[in-house]
Amino acid sequence: MPEGVKLKVAVVGGGAAGLLAAVIAGQEGAEVSILERNQRVGKKILTTGNGRCNLTNMDLHSSHYHGQNPKFAYSALQSFDNHRAIDFFERLGIAHKVEEEGKVFPFSNQASSVLDVLRYEVERLGIETITESEVKEIHKVSQGFELVLKEGKRHFAHRVILAAGGKAAPNLGSNGSGYALAEKLGHRVVEPFPALVQLKLESPFLKQIKGIKFDGEAEVLVKGKTLAKAQGEILFTEYGISGPPIFQLSRTAAEKLRMKNEVWLKVVLLPAWSRERLDQYLRKRWEDSPEKSVHFSFVGFINKQLVPVVLKQVGIEDINKPVSALTSREKEGILHLLQDWRFQVTGTNSWTAAQVTAGGVDVRDINPGTMESKLVPGLYFAGEILDIDGDCGGYNLQWAWSSGYVAGKNAAGG
């Protein structure tokens, strides 16, 4: 930069990654502008962690990240890891606490407090926030970039950080517009699809069991092979199945469906019970009350609403017959279904229901150590717009902070 000229950095997108990138670039001495298409910045932050903002996770292993080249995330995660993220927000005023599975939350339990301190720091650094300003085009010009806004206005910057997000949660402003901007600048895009989302299942019984919650286990299977497994609270719905374990499995299921595979979901209703223990328990239960109907014999053991569906799925038409009339084959069928109930996966819910985007700008054309484009010098990327997505539990926000930090620091590097 010529002496006496302050470096101008434009950040396209005022979400988690964009705000962090802007703050870091501002702290590094750049003149920063945030261009946000919504009426205010940080809308999506307010919804994270069920409104509590799961800032990061203490188990920050690269295995929690996905994409065509998940190792790309390693450098940024090392540069600004979970400990540095916690320290960063502590300095801004966010006391933290660690909960189950290493999840880190603000001590206030309010996502709004995270956005408040980021906005305060933006204002303190004199960063210009231009809302309701959708960037339609980015042109490489002499000494920098010209950004053309929807209303026709033009904005100049020496460097640009593209942090426009993905397509998940379009009601919060994510419409995938950043992909078109990247493609016009020569970047490839891995076709995006919803991740951390509910699964649609094929079953005639869904309306009967919708609303049932249970602590269970689920597995994604292709050609009989388990590809992913998760455990926790699961919820049957009218369209299929939901709950944290399902969200964890949804990326694997969706990716395999896109590859035209037949995908199955194995549901274990009683994961804490070994097959032997369950067999012994049920036999004793039936022996103690042989006169009870098969249906009533399960009352007090599993959800009453599930019982008739389980029995009919096994092939027991008369669910009111006495337990003493159960055949060995029927008993074996019940035992098996309680530990291995399979549903064909037909799809996922839409972008509106998704928490994060899988796919995005191909990371092969980006320097992992700087987040700078290998194709367009001075162009940087951060956050969900990239083909990197994380598991539930604070991993996607950590990616936003890490990639935002690296992009902001290097974009302001002179």
- The 3-class SS string of 63-107 reads HHEECCCHHHHHHHHHHCCHHHHHHHHHHHCCCEEECHHHEEEEC
Q: Could you read off the pLDDT of 187-225 as tens digits, one per residue?
A: 999 999 999 999 999 999 999 999 999 999 999 999 999
Query: How many other C-beta atoms are found inside a 10 Å radius of the C-beta of residue 254?
Result: 23
pLDDT confidence bin for 5, thresholds 50/70/90: confident
Which pLDDT does position 329 carry in this prediction?
A: 95
Helix ranges (H only) for 93-216 are 111-124, 177-184, 206-209
Instruction: Please report which confidence band the pLDDT of residue 377 belongs to, taking 50, 70 and 90 as the band edges.
Output: very high
Residues 49, 186, single domain; the answer is: yes
Q: What is the CATH number of the domain that holds 102?
A: 3.50.50.60
Range of the domain at 257: 198-348
2 lies in a domain? no
Among residues 302, 317, 348, which one ends one of the domains? Answer: 348
Strand-pair category, 159-162 with 8-12: parallel
Per-residue pLDDT, averaged over 312-325, amounts to 95
Asked if the model's pLDDT at residue 352 lies above 90, the reply is yes
In this structure, the answer to whether residues 202 and 190 fall within a common structural domain is no
**One-letter amino acid of 201:** L
pLDDT confidence of residue 151: 83
- Residue 398 lies inside a defined structural domain of this protein: yes
pLDDT beyond 80 at 2:
no
DSSP E strand stretches across 206-258: 213-222, 225-236, 240-242
- Same domain for 341 and 407, yes or no, is no
pLDDT for 174 equals 86
Residue that has been written with the tokens 């003493």 in this structure: 324
pLDDT band at 37 (very low <50, low <70, confident <90, very high): very high
Q: Are residues 225 and 323 in the same domain?
A: yes
Mean pLDDT over the full length of the chain: 96
Percent over 70 (pLDDT), the chain: 99
Last residue of a domain, one of 348, 381, 399: 348
Mean pLDDT, to the nearest integer, of 169-173? 89
Q: Are residues 188 and 208 in the same domain?
A: no
Confidence band of 3 (pLDDT split at 50, 70, 90): low
Whether residue 1 lies inside any domain: the answer is no
Q: What is the mean pLDDT of residues 170-195?
A: 95
- Say whether both 226 and 127 belong to one domain: no
Q: Is the pLDDT of residue 277 over 80?
A: yes
The whole-model pTM stands at 0.94
Condensed to tens digits (0 to 9), the pLDDT of residues 391-413 reads 999 999 999 999 999 999 999 99
Number of domains into which the chain is organized: 2
189 and 118 within one domain: yes
> End of a domain among 348, 374, 393?
348
Q: Are residues 126 and 34 in the same domain?
A: yes
**CA 232 distance to own-chain centroid:** 17
Residue 242 maps to a domain: yes
- Tell me, yes or no, whether 60 and 181 share the same domain: yes
User: Same structural domain for residues 240 and 210?
Assistant: yes
Tell me whether residue 115 is in a domain. yes
184 and 37 in a common domain:
yes
